[in-house]
Structure formats: structure tokens, C-alpha cells
Chains A and B, each alone.
Chain A
Amino acid sequence: MSLQIISIILGSLTLASALMVVLSKHPVRSVIYLVITFFLITSMYIMMNAQFLAVVNMIVYAGAIMVLFLFVLMLLNLNKEVEPMATRGSQLAAFIAGGSLFLVLITALKDTLILGQSYRENHSQIGLVKELGNLLFSKYIVAFELTSILFIAAMVGAILLAKREKQIIE
């Protein structure tokens, strides 16, 4: 019973902070609310006993990626400018489109067979580091090695893009 209350509170807090990401006018506040959202998603991973992904989510998302976003926001120094917002009409259109998307998804969820079946979340051992490590370094070893190539490509691309071009000397 208490587990249900905890997960309902966590879910509603997640949705509230995700809404604040979209609704808050200031970009820095959006980043902070996004960090809170990622922490709450991490807590939901812990509720589902996906311990490895909880730790990775906390380190990679809430740690690395969000700090990167915050750095870029501070670097660009946008505080004096007025935040550009969409017009009323396109906002209304976006809300109608998003609402109908949500309606379709919920209708699809209602028709599934698995609805209402509970799972014993604390008995699932699949999310532990041992199980996932065995899987990652046997079945998915090629993909894991290819990941390093992806990271090298991303690093070279980021450095090349962000490097200041040579000034033309007159």
C-alpha cells in the first residue's frame, strides 16, 4: 500500500516538473526542472529494481548532459534577451496536436491485454549490474565496441564545430 502511494507521488511529481520544463519562461529554470525530472525518473528506475540504469541515468543525464546544457546556456549569456515564444495560434495548435497524440496513446493502452496486471517489481533481478554485465559483454559486445567509435566521431565533430574559425587578416 505504501509502495503504491510512493510511486503515485513520484509519478505526479515527474509530470509536474516536466510540465514546468515546458512552461517556464527562463531557460535556466527549464534546465533545473529537467534535472529534477531526471532525478525522479531515476527514482522510478529504482522502484522497478533497475539499479544499473538508475546509476547510469543519474551520472550520464543528471550529471554530464545537464551540466553541458547549463554551461552552454551560461556561455551564450541570454539573460538580457527576451525569451522567444511561439504565437498564440501555433501554441493552441501544438496543444491540440499533443492532446490528440496523448488521447490516441491512452486509447491504445486501454485496449491492450496486459492492462491491470501487476508485476512483482522487487522480485525482478534482471536490472542488477551482474546480469546486465553478463549480457553486455557477451551478446552485445560488438555494439559496445562500436559505441567507442561513435564517441570518437562525436568528440571530433564537436571540437571541429565549436572551434573558432581563422580570422581573415586584411
Chain B
Amino acid sequence: MQAASTIGTSLDFYLFVSFALFTIGAIGAMTRKNMIVLLMCIELMLNAVNLMLVTFSTYYNNGDAQIFVFFTMVVAAAEATVGLSIIIMAYRNLKSIDIDMYNKLKN
């Protein structure tokens, strides 16, 4: 009864959205071959985890998780910068952004 009347504003709704976002990001990371889109899918998964942390932080009325989300965003910004510069360098060498072209370590 409680769950039915508060379906939109309850904790489990945001948790459901967060799980679904994480799943979509994981599926994207497995299906796409473009390296930039792969990085974007990783950002999507990071945001899903951030959403879940904020949800629990609001639920328990505790600010530590929100500070953790802040640091996650900082690390994500640094990661995106370095990842994109690696992609630019790789594109200069092979003139392709397909992740399957970069299997030189295999042989």
C-alpha cells in the first residue's frame, strides 16, 4: 500500500532507474566498437553509480556519500581527459577509431 502510493518518489524508483542506466551503459560498452562511444558508455555507468549514491545519501540523511560523488566526478573528468588524448594519439597512428583495429598486442 505504501509502495503503491509512493511509487514515483520512493527510494526504489531511483534505484531502479540507476540499475537500468548501468545496464544500458554495460550493453553499450559491449556492443559498440567506436572508442569514443565506449568512453561515453563508461561515463553513463559512472553516472548510474553516482545517482545510486545520492539516493542512499538522501535516504540516510548522510553527506559522506555526496562528497564521494563529488570526488567521483573529479576523477571522471581526469579520466575523460586522459582517455580522449590517448584516443587522439591512437587515431594518429592507425587512422581508425575502431577498437578491433587495436589488437596488436594479441600476436
| A70-107 contact mask (Cβ, 8 Å, vs B): 1 or 0 | 00110110100001111000110111011101100110
Nearest chain B CB to A13's CB is how many angstroms away? 10
Chain A residues with CB below 8 A from B30, complex form: 86, 90, 93-94, 97-98
Query: In whole angstroms, what is the CA distance A22 to B43 when docked?
Result: 12
* B78-A154 in contact (CB<8A): yes
**Contact residues, B77-96 vs A (CB, 8 A):** 77-82, 84-89, 91-92
Contact of B66 (CB < 8 Å), options: A5, A14, A52: A52
Nearest chain B CB to A29's CB is how many angstroms away? 10
A-B interface pairs (CB < 8 A), number: 244
Query: In whole angstroms, what is the CA distance A37 to B78 when docked?
Result: 20
The interface size bin for chain A is 35 or more
Contact of B8 (CB < 8 Å), options: A8, A27, A64: A8
* B8-A124 in contact (CB<8A): no
Nearest chain B CB to A34's CB is how many angstroms away? 5
Query: In whole angstroms, what is the CA distance A76 to B22 when docked?
Result: 28
* A18-B58 in contact (CB<8A): no
Nearest chain A CB to B11's CB is how many angstroms away? 6
Contact of B58 (CB < 8 Å), options: A95, A127, A147: A127
Nearest chain B CB to A12's CB is how many angstroms away? 9
Residue positions of A touching B, CB distance < 8 A: 3-8, 11, 14-15, 18-19, 21-22, 27, 30-31, 34, 37-38, 41, 44-45, 47-50, 52-53, 56-57, 60-61, 64-65, 68-69, 72-73, 75-76, 78, 83-86, 90-91, 93-95, 97-99, 101-102, 105-106, 109, 114-119, 121, 124, 126-127, 131-132, 135-136, 139-140, 143, 147, 150-151, 153-155, 157-159, 161-162, 164
A–B complex contacts, Cβ < 8 Å, 30 sampled:
A18-B21, A18-B24, A18-B25, A34-B44, A37-B44, A48-B55, A50-B57, A57-B73, A60-B76, A65-B77, A72-B36, A73-B36, A76-B97, A84-B98, A86-B30, A94-B27, A97-B26, A97-B30, A101-B23, A109-B19, A115-B11, A115-B12, A116-B12, A117-B11, A126-B61, A126-B62, A126-B63, A127-B63, A147-B74, A154-B82
Residue positions of B touching A, CB distance < 8 A: 2-3, 6-17, 19-28, 30-34, 36-37, 39-41, 43-44, 47, 50-51, 54-55, 57-59, 61-64, 66-67, 69-71, 73-82, 84-89, 91-92, 97-100
